[in-house]
A = this chain, B = another copy of it.
Amino acid sequence: MRASSLFTTITAFMASQKPETVYPINGLGVTPAMGWNNWNAFACSVNEDLLISTAEKMAAFGLRDAGYEYIVLDDCWSLGRDSKGNLQHDPAKFPNGMKYVAEKIHSLGFRFGMYSDAGSYTCARYPGSLGYEKQDAITFASWDVDYLKYDNCHNQGLSGTPKITSERYRTMTDALRAAGRPILYAICNWGEDFPWKWGPTVANSWRMSGDIYDSFDRPDPRCPCSGDEYSCAYPGSHCSVMNILNKAASIIDTSLPGAFNDLDMLEVGNGGMDDEEYKSHFSFWAAVKSPLLMGNDVNVMDAKALSILNNPAIIAVSQDPLGVPAVRRWRYYVNDTNQYGQGEIQMWSGPLFGGDQLVILLNAGNSSRTMNATLADIFCVATGIAKEIQEDWDVYDLWANRMDDATAQSIIDGTSIMGAGTSVASFYYNATQVSYKEGLAANDPLLYGKLTGTVTAGGAIETEVPRHGVAMLRLRKRTTTSFKVQDV
């Protein structure tokens, strides 16, 4: 029997169990972590000002209130170790030290994340924490760090079986616990040695693929495993959104509240994809409960990137109290391929808070097409015929109330959400005041997009989906009579 069969009983279970049982590691990250990490846009070009100014801008743009909580510094912050073996920050980059950065970030209402590596060097060949786990965990705790990204470079060959790899990462799990400060633990071993098998007892999240790059579906030889491979002995890098998503399809249901598969940081706003592609990227990362770490330069944020990243109806899916990732129900290759020979369509669905059901229709074909999904496929379950198929459902389009470009641009131009007009109220959700769980329970319309139709018992949804785009829909049980979308 597998944990993946549990969602029908998990709600009741969570109510009856003590939290430390449900979230095995540390009680943190019960919903997927949200925040920002500098790597995708800045790589090694890090310094104090970048982190603080980014945090300031994210607060001003309303992204902190939307839920982006962690400001995460990636590699290249170090100057090595001192004579006692303590990690030293690079004073040229961080003249006031790391604790100062943490305090500034905390004062802005964020939490502070740092980076190390389960090897002798980090990926950029700064000192790694292998063999220094206890000492470094104490250092991070002393710096008031709230989050640790823990990479996999230069690991001295300590890989090859789940046992070898998990022991290396668990050493830091134990060290963080011993250090006494709550630190969310995000491991990054690129899916090597099946972290979805052992991740829940080791970390709050685990990367499940090679590094993302800013492409929707271009294959790159440096990402040698195809999206059809459930096991990848060499994850590589330069993996496209579709490559990672397809790899996730097989293992995504291993995610649990407090223990999530991480599909890597977001590329939204970095310029390598078009608007529909970025919407698809963000929709799926939310739907499958991946951490949502923004990866763009907020100083050059454009209106469309902002209105993707701040959509409360999508984020509410990510932060859904059930914590159950959507799963793929079907996939078909289509002849309508692009220059890379890629073309396919998919449907994913999964349960949401309140008995709702998420549905995503993905058109990864090369032109717009009409797509549909039956309730039978949407509610495909392990045992017997789902009773939900025999019910009527309202259909909410979660992208329908996306912030308009003018409003988003006015925020950017005004350098803060306060600089925008009154229209902001139609889009602005403050999760620091009312959690997504509370908002969902209160039927806050900001979290439900727009009612666009109804599907009756035994019927199907049908909608037009643009090239490389998605229809992201939320089905709610009908309480009043309404028109129907389509019968099949």
Task: Find A201's partner among B40, B120, B160, B188 (CB 8 Å cutoff).
Answer: B120
The answer to whether A3 touches B267 (Cβ under 8 A) is no
A370 contacts the other chain (CB 8 A): no
Q: Which of A191-199, A412-420, A431-439 contacts B (4 or more CB under 8 A)?
A: A191-199
Known: A151-B1, A221-B249, A272-B384. A201 touches B156 (CB 8 A): yes
The answer to whether A237 touches B271 (Cβ under 8 A) is no
A230 contacts the other chain (CB 8 A): yes
A156: chain B residues within 8 A (beta carbon): 166, 170, 198, 201
A334: chain B residues within 8 A (beta carbon): none
A249's nearest neighbour on chain B, judged by CB, is B221
Task: Find A45's partner among B9, B44, B271 (CB 8 Å cutoff).
Answer: B9
How many copies of this chain sit in the oligomeric assembly? 4
A369 contacts the other chain (CB 8 A): no
Shortest distance between the CB of A342 and any CB in chain B (Å): 13
The answer to whether A197 touches B157 (Cβ under 8 A) is yes
A160: chain B residues within 8 A (beta carbon): 160-164, 193
The answer to whether A233 touches B164 (Cβ under 8 A) is no
A1: chain B residues within 8 A (beta carbon): 39, 74-75, 123, 151, 188, 211
Known: A155-B197, A166-B157, A202-B157. A43 touches B5 (CB 8 A): yes
A188: chain B residues within 8 A (beta carbon): 1
The answer to whether B2 touches A384 (Cβ under 8 A) is no
A284 contacts the other chain (CB 8 A): no
A190: chain B residues within 8 A (beta carbon): 2
A441 contacts the other chain (CB 8 A): no
Give Cα A52–Cα B43 distance, bound, in whole angstroms: 49
The answer to whether A3 touches B123 (Cβ under 8 A) is yes
Task: Find A161's partner among B161, B211, B249 (CB 8 Å cutoff).
Answer: B161
For A213-251 the 0/1 string (1 means CB < 8 A from B) is: 110001001101100001101101110000000000111
Task: Find A41's partner among B22, B170, B249, B383 (CB 8 Å cutoff).
Answer: B383
Shortest distance between the CB of A162 and any CB in chain B (Å): 4
A200 contacts the other chain (CB 8 A): yes
Task: Find A4's partner among B237, B251, B385 (CB 8 Å cutoff).
Answer: B237
B-contacting residues, A383-420, CB 8 Å? 383-385
Give Cα A151–Cα B8 distance, bound, in whole angstroms: 20
A212's nearest neighbour on chain B, judged by CB, is B382
A477 contacts the other chain (CB 8 A): no
Shortest distance between the CB of A424 and any CB in chain B (Å): 28
The answer to whether A331 touches B221 (Cβ under 8 A) is yes
A270 contacts the other chain (CB 8 A): yes
Task: Find A383's partner among B155, B213, B249 (CB 8 Å cutoff).
Answer: B213
The answer to whether B24 touches A154 (Cβ under 8 A) is yes
A100 contacts the other chain (CB 8 A): no
Shortest distance between the CB of A113 and any CB in chain B (Å): 13
Shortest distance between the CB of A133 and any CB in chain B (Å): 16
The answer to whether A327 touches B383 (Cβ under 8 A) is no
Shortest distance between the CB of A395 and any CB in chain B (Å): 24
The answer to whether A214 touches B383 (Cβ under 8 A) is yes
A158 contacts the other chain (CB 8 A): yes
Q: A156-B170, A221-B328 are in contact. List 10 more A-B contacts (CB 8 A).
A: A1-B39, A2-B211, A4-B238, A13-B76, A21-B126, A24-B121, A155-B197, A157-B197, A161-B164, A238-B382
Instruction: List, sorted by A's number, 10 A–B pairs whose CB atoms are closer than 8 Å.
Output: A12-B44, A158-B163, A159-B162, A160-B164, A194-B234, A214-B384, A221-B327, A222-B249, A230-B234, A271-B384
